[in-house]
Chain A
């Protein structure tokens, strides 16, 4: 521990660099993932799309079960075959986008499906268009649950992104792997502690965001 502290004092620039890299990967990956997942999650709630919904949820379920190392193992040759750079940021982000899908798709789908049908019927009966029903009723009511899914996805991805250091994507996995290779405990501990703190911080902040985005009326309903 003392060694890690000394390393930190010696090279704070390195740690902040890795952390920022890590954050950047997560931000890009989960940002793209969120957009795709919410759109897909909404789309599969549509009338007559029950079968498609089953397939989509099943596929994203399968993606989650692929071990991360195996995922890189699949993506690298695929990228190479497509003539793209077969290591680094692009491959890492692609993998994390895929991993981030399931929690958000599932939560979006469930939350929208669970909006009280009477509420939707009232909206429709008063002359709201389907788009207005989505944006004024369904999405606001589903937001807390979608946010919980995002939080879940981000925390999972912070862990997986560390492994992406192996394929040259950078981030907080770098000191850990370097330390493992050279038996440098200070590097290992620095990386591990920073990674854990990052995950906790992200979890806490997204929790706050979730609460902040929860409509007031729902908060009061829960208090009862």
Chain B
């Protein structure tokens, strides 16, 4: 756990970079320091591993004041990754990743195993091949992965990251973010992460600390920050489209209609027509005997004779209960019927996502905003 108490940084020329920041990052939590350039977020980060000395206040890691330990020992126990990466150009990828384990004098064999494990983790496979390469021989995205792997070198419980995905193209950045979320789900580090990108903050953070001119303005979960911006600055910073941003925080499972009415593929069309009319709908999801989703029955395709299977429209797009709502929304536009079928891993129909439900969700979040 990391605790900052009234942390302040005043430079000799009188500039107050950080003013009385107090915040706490729980074990295994992903905290994003967010704000415009010059807001003090990077300074705050670098005070945690003492790259920048504190002017006043106190920082503790697991209850221990960071000024009670040797700075090099402190840093060897905290992973550090920066935007410029700073890979050592004269060392191989393997040697770069082995930096902290070597400083800690791990045995050679353990280091070798750790390097391979980390290369696998960040998706640089085969590890034996990447381990021998030099930074100059890698692409920007690959270098950034090495940077993350190096920060994880000695398996530190804490990671400090300063815009680690800042200098890469947007597509690669999205992918690295996704991968990093997957890695974090696996390794559960306590992370302090600096960015100026609200989308990145919302996507990655468990909690967001929004800073302005050296002060902490709001420290909240992404959903809270989007729904209840504390003041005009926060509202402006998170952007006018914050309702849409909030969509990515919701999962389909939270808003889908569960156990929707269905029709079995083997049923006669006459029975299906009766069902459509009774429910007053134009579409019904078609399933097989095991409840697996097969496609849609459209009222306009009904014939007097035959079975459902003969006239149904096979599905083109699907969602899972874990699909973020923003992705589900764009899938719905692709779907032939406007509704989205939600299936589990076995292909069984779990629910339906309809525009009506989505509309309700959006209206709710607007109402919250009105109150906040």
Chain A residues in the interface with B (C-beta under 8 A)? 116, 118-129, 132, 136-137, 140-141, 215-218, 220-221, 224
Which stretch (B70-78, B248-256, B351-359) binds chain A? B70-78
Whole-angstrom CA separation of A15 from B88 in the bound complex: 48
Query: What is the CB-to-nearest-CB distance from A128 to chain B, in angstroms, rounded to a whole number?
Result: 7
- Residue of A127, A136, A216 near B100 (CB, 8 A) is A127
Q: Which residues of A contact B137 (CB under 8 A)?
A: 220, 224
Known pairs A126-B76, A127-B72; A119 contacts B86 (CB<8 A):
yes
CB-CB under 8 A from B92, the residues of chain A are: 217
Question: Once bound together, how far apart are the Cα atoms of A216 and B75, in whole Å?
Answer: 28
For window 133-177 of B, CB contacts with A under 8 Å fall at: 134-137, 150, 153, 160
Whether A122 touches B90, Cβ cut-off 8 Å, given contacts A127-B74, A127-B75, A216-B134, is: no
**B136 adjacent to A221 (CB under 8 Å):** yes
Contacts of B75 in A (CB 8 A): 124-127
> Which residues of chain A have C-beta atoms less than 8 A from B80's C-beta?
122, 125-126
A220 neighbours in B (Cβ, 8 Å): 134, 136-137
**How long is the Cα–Cα vector from A130 to B86 in the complex, in angstroms?**
16
**Which residue in B86, B90, B100 is a CB contact (below 8 Å) of A218?**
B90
* Whole-angstrom CA separation of A24 from B72 in the bound complex: 45
Which residues of B are found within 8 Å of A128, using beta-carbon distances? 72, 99, 103
Interface contacts (Cβ under 8 Å), in number, total 86
Majority secondary structure of chain A interface residues (helix, strand, loop or mixed): helix
Does B91 make an interface contact (CB < 8 A)?
Answer: yes
B314 within 8 A of A: no
Range class of the B interface residue count: 20 to 34
CB distance from A97 to the nearest CB of B (A): 30
Whether A126 contacts B134 by the Cβ 8 Å rule is no
Q: How far, in whole Å, are A136 and B98 apart by their CA atoms in the complex?
A: 13
B284 touches A (CB below 8 Å): no
A122 touches B136 (CB 8 A): no
Q: Is the pair A118, B134 in contact by a Cβ cutoff of 8 Å? A: no
Does any Cβ of A come within 8 Å of B190's Cβ? no
Chain A positions within 8 Å of B86 at CB level: 116, 118-123
User: Is B115 among interface residues, defined by CB-CB distance under 8 A?
Assistant: no
- Give the distance in Å from the alpha carbon of A140 to the alpha carbon of B134 in the complex: 15
B85 CB–A CB distance under 8 Å: yes
* 9 A-B pairs with least C-beta separation: A122-B86, A215-B90, A118-B84, A221-B136, A127-B76, A127-B75, A125-B80, A118-B86, A217-B134
Whether A119 lies near B82 (C-beta < 8 A) is no
Asked if B87 is at the interface of the complex by the 8 Å CB criterion, the answer is yes
B90 surroundings in chain A (CB, below 8 A): 140-141, 215-218
- List 8 interface pairs A-B (beta carbons < 8 Å), by A numbering: A122-B87, A125-B49, A125-B75, A127-B100, A128-B103, A129-B72, A140-B90, A224-B137
Residues of chain B lying within 8 A (CB to CB) of residue A215: 89-91
Per the bound structure, the CA–CA distance linking A120 and B336 in Å amounts to 56
Question: B263-294: contact bitstring with A at CB < 8 Å (1 yes, 0 no)?
Answer: 00000000000000000000000000000000
A125 x B51 contact (CB < 8 A): yes
B163, chain A: closest CB distance, angstroms: 12
Instruction: Name, among A119, A140, A224, the residue most crowded by chain B CB atoms within 10 Å (CB to CB).
Output: A119
Residues of B within 8 A of A124 (CB): 51, 75
